[in-house]
C-alpha cells in the first residue's frame, strides 16, 4: 500500500451516480420535445448557459433564479417550468457496486472516503434525502460539494479548499472524475487523479487504479 494516500475522493455524476449525459437525453426522460437544436446549441447561448451553471453550482444564485435564467438563455425555446423538469430528471441511479466499494474503503485501516463534486442545492437535496437518495453517497465519510464550497472544478480554488477541509496534503489524496479538465485541474494542484469512463464500470475501474497504487481494500464489510 502507498503509505502517503489517506483519502479516496470521488466525483459524483459519472463516477458514483449515473446521470443524463446530454440535454436531449434529459428531455427524452422528462417527456419534453427537443426544440430547434441548432439554435439551442448556438455558441453564444451555450456560453451563457455555461456561465449561469457555474454560478449556480458555486451557490451564487438560487434554484428558481437559475431556472428562469436558463429558460431565457434558450431564447424561450423552453419555459422555466420545463427547465426545472429537465433539471430534476438529470439524476438517474447509483452505479452498480459503487456503494460496496465505498464501504470497503471505509473499512480499510488508514483510508477514508470523500466526494468533491460540482453540484447544486436541488440535486444535492435529491441525492441526500427522500426515498430515492443515493445509498453510496450516504456512506461517504466527507462530502464536499461546490455550492457549499463556493467554487467549481477545474479551478484550483476548489481543490485547495478540499485539502483544507480534509486536513490533507495533495500527496495524501487520490481523486476519480469522469471529466478530463477536472482531472487535469486536480493534477495541476499536485493530486493523484484518474479519469473514469462513465459508460463502463466505475467501481471496477477505481478498484483497478487503487490496486495499481498498491492499495488493497478490505473485504465486504457486510
Task: Report the CATH number that the domain containing residue 178 is assigned in CATH.
Answer: 3.40.50.1000
Q: What is the domain count for the chain? A: 2
Q: What pLDDT was estimated at residue 192?
A: 98
Q: 182-194: per-residue pLDDT in tens?
A: 999 999 999 999 9
Question: What global pTM score does this model have?
Answer: 0.96
pLDDT confidence of 115, banded at 50, 70, 90? very high
Q: What pLDDT was estimated at residue 1?
A: 45
Distance CA 150, CA 163 (A): 15
CB of 146 within 8 A of CB of 123? Answer: no
Q: What pLDDT was estimated at residue 222?
A: 75
Q: What pLDDT was estimated at residue 134?
A: 98
Whether residue 221 is contained in a domain is answered as no
Question: Do 46 and 136 belong to one domain?
Answer: no
> Exposed, middle or buried: residue 102 (CB in 10 Å: 0-12, 13-18, 19+)?
buried
Question: Do 112 and 175 belong to one domain?
Answer: yes
Question: Do 45 and 71 belong to one domain?
Answer: yes
Q: What pLDDT was estimated at residue 131?
A: 85
Identify the domain boundary among 88, 108, 128. Answer: 88
Q: 150-179: per-residue pLDDT in tens?
A: 999 999 999 999 999 999 999 999 999 999
Question: Do 80 and 55 belong to one domain?
Answer: yes
The C-alpha cell at 50 is: 455555461
Q: How many CB atoms lie within 10 A of CB 41?
A: 10
Pairing state between β 192-195 and 173-177: parallel
Question: Do 66 and 132 belong to one domain?
Answer: no
Distance CA 160, CA 145 (A): 13
Residue 86 clears pLDDT 90, i.e. is over it: yes
Residue with cell 481523486: 175
Residue 34 clears pLDDT 60, i.e. is over it: yes
Question: Do 75 and 106 belong to one domain?
Answer: no
Question: Do 31 and 14 belong to one domain?
Answer: no
Domain containing 83: what range?
A: 23-88
Question: Do 12 and 108 belong to one domain?
Answer: yes
> Mean pLDDT across the chain, nearest whole number?
97
Question: Do 42 and 119 belong to one domain?
Answer: no
Identify the domain boundary among 40, 61, 88. Answer: 88
Distance CA 96, CA 111 (A): 22
Question: Do 127 and 39 belong to one domain?
Answer: no
Q: What pLDDT was estimated at residue 220?
A: 82
Amino acid at each position: 500500500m502507498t503509505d502517503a494516500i489517506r483519502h479516496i475522493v470521488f466525483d459524483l455524476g459519472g463516477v458514483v451516480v449515473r446521470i443524463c449525459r446530454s440535454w436531449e437525453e434529459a428531455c427524452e426522460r422528462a417527456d419534453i420535445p427537443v426544440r430547434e437544436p441548432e439554435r439551442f446549441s448556438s455558441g453564444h447561448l451555450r456560453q451563457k448557459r455555461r456561465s449561469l451553471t457555474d454560478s449556480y453550482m458555486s451557490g451564487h444564485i438560487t434554484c428558481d433564479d437559475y431556472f428562469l435564467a436558463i429558460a431565457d438563455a434558450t431564447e424561450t425555446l423552453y419555459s422555466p417550468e420545463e427547465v426545472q423538469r429537465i433539471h430534476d430528471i438529470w439524476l438517474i441511479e447509483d452505479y452498480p457496486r459503487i456503494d460496496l466499494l465505498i464501504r470497503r474503503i471505509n473499512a480499510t485501516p488508514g483510508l477514508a472516503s470523500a466526494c468533491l463534486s460540482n453540484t447544486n442545492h436541488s440535486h444535492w437535496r435529491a441525492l441526500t434525502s427522500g426515498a430515492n437518495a443515493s445509498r453510496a453517497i450516504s456512506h461517504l465519510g466527507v462530502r464536499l460539494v461546490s455550492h457549499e464550497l463556493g467554487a467549481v472544478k477545474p479551478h484550483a480554488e476548489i481543490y485547495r479548499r478540499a485539502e483544507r477541509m480534509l486536513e490533507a496534503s495533495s500527496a495524501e489524496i487520490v481523486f476519480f472524475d469522469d471529466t478530463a479538465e477536472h482531472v487535469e485541474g486536480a493534477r495541476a494542484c499536485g493530486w493523484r487523479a484518474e479519469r473514469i469512463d462513465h459508460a463502463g464500470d466505475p467501481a471496477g475501474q477505481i478498484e483497478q487504479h487503487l490496486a495499481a497504487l498498491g492499495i488493497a481494500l478490505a473485504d465486504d464489510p457486510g
